[in-house]
Chains A and B, each alone.
Chain A
Amino acid sequence: MHIHKYEKWWLTFGISSLVLFLVIVGFSAFHYGSHPPTGKIYIDPERVDEIAPFNNPGVHKVEGKDWDFEVVLVASAFYYNPPEIEVPLGSTIKFIATTKDVVHGFQVAGTNINMILEPGYVSEYVTTADKTGEFLILCNEYCGVGHSSMTSMLKVAE
């Protein structure tokens, strides 16, 4: 089979780029454990307020875990509880969130934190806040008439 010299070049270029992308993505997934937020824990959406940890939403300092703070979040039409989150710079945070009614989103603008909150499921995400600032939290799943005003704030201070 005759292949033109230039065709060999761009086939090599194309295949090696694909391999490079896959190696980088695979390395960050399997070595650094970067993965989408989990939604494998189930909860009765009717009784969210009574079930721990959602009976006590807020920012909680924890000891002896891989993270320093647990942020327990309950979303409902059309607000987040707690309405504001404040954490110190450099702290590792675990977001534990669910919704009481319909599907909501939990996106922290300007960061990689972006989860879907589904009734009956607990969404979790662990990250280290290594930049100071105020980050807008917003709902990115249409949830009803108040959707556009459903916001909260993540404050990372020194």
Chain B
Amino acid sequence: MSKKKEKDSDLKGTLYSVGFVGAFILISWFMAFYLFVDRF
């Protein structure tokens, strides 16, 4: 019984692109929310 552990694939690039999209969503959400809060 030889259950070889599968080697982790390199997801560094994916992490950066997901992080970039996430940061963009977060920042634009807060910008829109600030606009809403700031106006009467």
Give the number of chain A interface residues (Cβ < 8 Å).
21
Contact digits for B15-32, partner A, Cβ 8 Å, 1 yes 0 no: 100110010011001000
A142 within 8 A of B: no
Rounded to whole Å, the gap between the CB of B19 and the closest CB of chain A is 7
Specify which of A10, A24, A110, A131 lies most central, judged by the most chain B CB atoms within 10 Å of its CB: A10
Contact A128 to B15, CB < 8 A, known contacts A4-B8, A17-B22, A24-B33: no
Q: Is A17 in contact with B39, judged by CB distance below 8 angstroms?
A: no
> Chain B contact residues (Cβ within 8 angstroms of A): what range?
10 to 19
Contact A6 to B29, CB < 8 A, known contacts A112-B36, A112-B40: no
Q: How far is the CA of A63 from the CA of B34 in the complex (A)?
A: 32
Q: How far is the CA of A7 from the CA of B14 in the complex (A)?
A: 9
Rounded to whole Å, the gap between the CB of B4 and the closest CB of chain A is 13
Q: Is A127 in contact with B40, judged by CB distance below 8 angstroms?
A: yes
Residues of chain B contacted by A24 (CB below 8 angstroms): 33
Contact digits for A1-41, partner B, Cβ 8 Å, 1 yes 0 no: 01011110110011001000100100000000000000000
**A10 contacts which of B15, B29, B33, B36 (Cβ < 8 Å)?**
B15
B11 within 8 A of A: yes
Q: How far is the CA of A1 from the CA of B34 in the complex (A)?
A: 41
B residues with a Cβ closer than 8 A to A are 6, 8-9, 11-12, 14-15, 18-19, 22, 25-26, 29, 33, 36, 39-40
